[in-house]
Structure 1
């Protein structure tokens, strides 16, 4: 007998007058090199809500079932765009503000850069530092993906459709990503603590060629990817409510010292480490 696939875990919560629902499920083992995770969400608040989204070593795909989010330009708070049906955000080195008027509902798919390269079929450098309408980027056969997802009755059915769509694209892809996939895994496994000259030697290429491969298949050079991986590990640690002084955290996550950590946090979040930490503690209540 085949083991039953895991079903979606749904968590609901309230905070004052705000209510939210979060549905999660692990990706199938076959797709884990391409999908970091996915979730379905519904949120109702008594008024407009703005969030500061920190950069991550992944390509974020938002499929919206409700009114479109206002997405501000990277690192800014003045000019915003709307993307009815959803959007795709490439790798970046700074924060992005998003805002809704009191209600949002949709599905978030977090792809590894390699997964995004195979799914969308475009060089990842075209998405670096950009937010693009999902309708403009989705393959033609999946042009109605947002409508199809919204019509389905359960989160499990939606997650199943996402996995089928990505699995088909991976099987159909004729893009060679093996070298970069290996290097990407090495950087992740080491938490970003990788010497780039040594990495190039292991791959048997010049540093320039490795950078070119990363720009095409990841979107950023390997050195910036390593910084994002290290920062993401720090973020996940803090979001889980873990303690530690900044000096202790700097040593734990491979920064030269506390000042080095502070510089990276300031660049990536646009705010001080203390304020960034407070925001992550607030968000930890939304984790299942």
Structure 2
């Protein structure tokens, strides 16, 4: 599996984290990959074969050609990969989909939808432009034009969404309580608006970001011990990482990471 990423210019920064494209030639090989709890809000467009997705041990079904995918607050989702894969993805900032399209992220949590069902006919405009693009750079240009056409009519990004962005940038380590107090909102108001913007509660959001950072750190240095990875990611000790791995990934860290990172 080959993944390319591109960060957009600063004028997109309130709405788009980055663009990516994953390609693979798996032939007759079939892979099943677990997903941990994660904070991503995505539009995925399949240029070739599609992922098949199963949730909670149920049967796998093919993804929509263009799908809006919400954040995931629990384990149990698996991607089933085979054939020729080429998937172009727009990764939104927390609150980006809400600002652009008025979508409440908590209504997307733990689900994926055909994009046209959620954002209407403008999804067809994006689909047509992506189909006409010849390569990753051209698809980025098409996606940026599509987003830019909508930024002018977008509502301002919520301050709570900006705090969620700060949590991502800190690896989930920024103190949520302190950030909440800076907004001047009550705890209840902050939690409600945070979940509306991100799809997850503030605590779960921070835990998912931190667990994701630990997985990426282990992948970047496979020989490092899990104890070192846990401390670097901000866990008090390895037992706290094990707890999060079981609750957010569905298995202990060693077993989950081996399964999660099995894509070549």
TM-score interval for Structure 1 and Structure 2 normalised by the shorter chain: 0.7 to 0.9
2:95 alignment partner in structure 1:
114
In structure 2, the CA distance between the partners of 1:199 and 1:149, relative to structure 1 (3 Å rule), is same
Task: State yes or no: 1:63 paired with 2:50.
Answer: no
Query: C-alpha displacement at 1:161, in angstroms?
Result: 0.9
* Distance in structure 2 (CA, Å) of the matches to 1:280 and 1:78: 19
1:141 alignment partner in structure 2:
122
1:161 alignment partner in structure 2:
142
For residues 144-198 of structure 1, the C-alpha deviation after alignment (integer angstroms, 9 at most, x for no partner) is: 4223312222221111111111222222112x43311332233234332243333
* Distance in structure 2 (CA, Å) of the matches to 1:154 and 1:29: 23
TM-score (norm 1): 0.81
1:210 alignment partner in structure 2:
190
| Aligned pair partner of 1:49 in 31, 50, 56 | 31
| Aligned pair partner of 1:180 in 160, 166, 179 | 160
Higher relative contact order (CA 8 A, sep 6+): 2
TM-score (norm 2): 0.88
* Distance in structure 1 (CA, Å) of the matches to 2:254 and 2:51: 27
Q: What does 1:194-209 align with in structure 2 at a 5 Å threshold?
A: 194-209=174-189
Task: State yes or no: 1:25 paired with 2:6.
Answer: yes
* Distance in structure 1 (CA, Å) of the matches to 2:4 and 2:171: 28
For residues 47-76 of structure 1, the C-alpha deviation after alignment (integer angstroms, 9 at most, x for no partner) is: 223222333222132101223321112xx2
Contact kept in structure 1, 2:104 and 2:196, CA below 8 Å: yes
Q: Secondary structure at the match of 2:95?
A: helix
Structure 1 residue ranges without an equivalent (≥5): 1-19
Q: Secondary structure at the match of 2:74?
A: coil
* Distance in structure 2 (CA, Å) of the matches to 1:238 and 1:60: 24
In structure 2, the CA distance between the partners of 1:170 and 1:22, relative to structure 1 (3 Å rule), is same
Task: State yes or no: 1:265 paired with 2:240.
Answer: no
* Distance in structure 2 (CA, Å) of the matches to 1:127 and 1:178: 18
- Work out the number of aligned pairs and report it: 262
* Distance in structure 2 (CA, Å) of the matches to 1:49 and 1:246: 25
Q: What does 1:94-133 align with in structure 2 at a 5 Å threshold?
A: 94-95=74-75, 96-133=77-114
For residues 248-267 of structure 1, the C-alpha deviation after alignment (integer angstroms, 9 at most, x for no partner) is: 22222222321111011122
Structure 2 residue ranges without an equivalent (≥5): none
CA RMSD of aligned residues (A): 2.3
* Distance in structure 1 (CA, Å) of the matches to 2:154 and 2:96: 11
Contact kept in structure 1, 2:33 and 2:259, CA below 8 Å: no
